[in-house]
Amino acid sequence: MDEVHQPLPEARQPLVSRTLTEWRTLAILGGPILIAQVAQMANGVIDTVMAGHASAEDLAAVGIGSSLWMPVFLFFMGLLGALQPIISGYNGARTTEKIMPATWQGLYIAAAGSVIMILLLTNVHPVLSALNLEANTARISQGYLDAFAWGIPAMLLMMALRGLTDGLGHTRVIMAFSVLGTLINLPLNYIFIYGKLGLPAMGGIGCGWATSISNGIAAIALLVYLNRSAVYRRFHLLADWAKPDANGIRYILRLGIPIGFTIFVEASMFSVIALFLAPLGPVIVAGHQIALNVVSLLFMLPLSIGMALTLRVSFLMGARAPDTARLIARSSLILASAVALVFAVMLFAFADGIATLYTSDADVRAVTVTLLVYAAFFQIADVIQVTCISALRGYKDTSIPMFIMLFSFWIVGLPLGWVLTFTDWLLPAMGAAGFWVGLTSGLASASILLGLRLFLFTPEPET
C-alpha cells in the first residue's frame, strides 16, 4: 500500500494538524496529476502550432478533427475515470484481491469504447459535408481522423490502466508516461508534417499519425513497466487475468457513465457557445477563445487537486475513516477558494499583459481584457464546483451531481448567456460578455447545489 495513502487515526491529532497533513497528501497525489494534465494539453498546443506552420488549411483541418474526437474521448475518459475511486476504495479497505478483476473489467470497457470511437471517427463524412468545408480542408480532416484512429486503443488502454496506478496512489506513473508521449509526439510531428527522413510531407494528416504512434509507444512502455516493476508484482495483468463479469462491468458503468456524460455536457456547451458567437465577428470570437484558453490553463491546478481529492476520499471511505474523509472533503473547499481568489486577483491585475501575450491586434486585445475581468468571477465559481463534484465522486456519488451539472449548464447558464448576449430583455445586449455572465451564473448554481449535496450527503463506509 502506498505510504501517502495511509489513513490517519481519526482523533489522535489536532484538527488543524490533521487538515494540514491531509492537504500535504493532496499535494503529493495532485502534483504528478498536474504535470500529466499539462503534458496532455501540450500535445494539442504542439499540433496546433506545427500544423499552422504547414498551412492555414492544415491548421483548420486539425482543429476541426480535434473538435470531433475530443468530446467523444472525454466521455470515455470520464467513464473509465470511475476506476480510480473504485480501486482506491479497494486499496483503502485492503481488499486487494478485488483490484485486478476491476482493472480487467475496465480494460474490456476500454476495448469496446475503442471500437465505438474508431467507427465514429472514420465515418464522419456526413458531418464534414454538413459543415460545407472547402474540399481540401475536408480531405485533410478525414485523413487526420483516419490516422488518429489507429492510436485510440492505446489512449483508452492508458485511461483504464490509470485507474490501477492512480487508484493505488502512484500518480507519478501516468505522469511519467504522459510526458514520454509528449516528448515523442514533438519530433514525430516535425517528421510527418514537414516530410523529413525521406518521408513525404503529410501536413495536418501527419499530426494524426504522430499522435497515434506516440500514444502507442507510451502505452507499450507502460505495459512493460507494469510487467517488470517490483511495485506491481502483486498486480500482474497476465497472471491475474479475469474474465468479463457482467456485475463488475455494470458497477463501473453505473458510476462512470454519469461522470462521462457530465464532462461531455460541459465540453459540448463550450462548443455551442463558440457557434453562437460566430455571427458577432472574428474579433469577438478571437477574444473569447483567448479568455477561454487562459481559464482552461489556470483550471489545470484545481482540476488536479480535485482528482487527488477523489482518490483520497475514496481511499478513506474504503479504510472506514469517514470522519477524515469528511474533513478533507470539506476543508478542501477552503484550499480551493484560496487558489481561486489568487487566480481572480491575477486576472484582474494582469489582464492587459495576458492579452498582449496572445495577440498584437488592439481590437482583439480590448475584447480579451474585458472578458478576462468576467473570467475572474467565472474562475471562482468553477474552482468551487470542481472541488465539490470531485469529493462526491470519491464518495461514489455521481448520478445526482450529473443532473445538477446538466441543470446548471443547460437550464441556467446557456439560456441566460444567450439572453444577455443577444437581447435587451434583462439588460442592454452585452455581446460575448453575456455568455461569460451566463457561464458564471451556471457555475455558481452548480457550486451551491453541489455544496449542499456534499454537506448533506452522509455515505456509509464500504463493506
pLDDT at 133 over 80: no
Do 238 and 261 have their domain in common? no
305 in the same domain as 442: yes
Q: What percent of the chain has pLDDT over 70?
A: 96
> Mean pLDDT over residues 378-403, rounded?
94
pLDDT of residue 99: 95
Between 440 and 278, name the one with better pLDDT. 440
Sign of CA dihedral 95, 100, 103, 105: negative
Question: Based on the structure, what is the number of domains in the chain?
Answer: 2
Same domain, 235 and 382: no
Considering the domain architecture, whether residues 229 and 272 belong to the same structural domain is answered as no
Residue 58, domain member (yes or no):
yes
Q: Which domain holds residue 369?
A: 257-462
In this structure, the answer to whether residues 348 and 199 fall within a common structural domain is no
Asked if residue 214 belongs to a domain, the reply is yes
Same domain, 183 and 47: yes
| 209 closest CA partner among 151, 140, 154, 141 | 151
In a domain, 249, yes or no: no
Residue 11's pLDDT is what?
A: 53
Q: Which helix (H) or strand (E) holds 394?
A: helix 362-394
The owner of cell 503529410 is 202
Q: Is the pLDDT of residue 463 over 70?
A: no
Predicted confidence (pLDDT) per residue in 43-95, tens digit: 887 887 788 788 878 888 887 888 889 889 999 999 999 999 999 999 999 99
Are residues 127 and 261 both part of a single domain? Answer: no
> What pLDDT does residue 461 have?
55
CB distance 79 to 109 below 8 Å: yes
The band of 462, judged by pLDDT with boundaries at 50, 70 and 90, is low
Give the pLDDT confidence of 347-364 residue by residue, as tens digits: 989 999 988 888 788 888
pTM of the predicted model over 0.75: yes
Split at pLDDT 50, 70, 90, the class of 1 is very low
Residue 274 belongs to a domain: yes
Cell of 328: 478533507
Instruction: Verify that 305 and 335 share a domain, yes or no.
Output: yes
| pLDDT tens sequence across 189-221 | 999 999 999 889 898 899 999 999 999 999 999
Q: What does pLDDT average to over the chain?
A: 89
Given a cut of 80, whether residue 448 has pLDDT beyond it is yes
Q: Where are the alpha helices (DSSP H) in 246-361?
A: 246-277, 282-318, 322-358
Considering the domain architecture, whether residues 274 and 409 belong to the same structural domain is answered as: yes
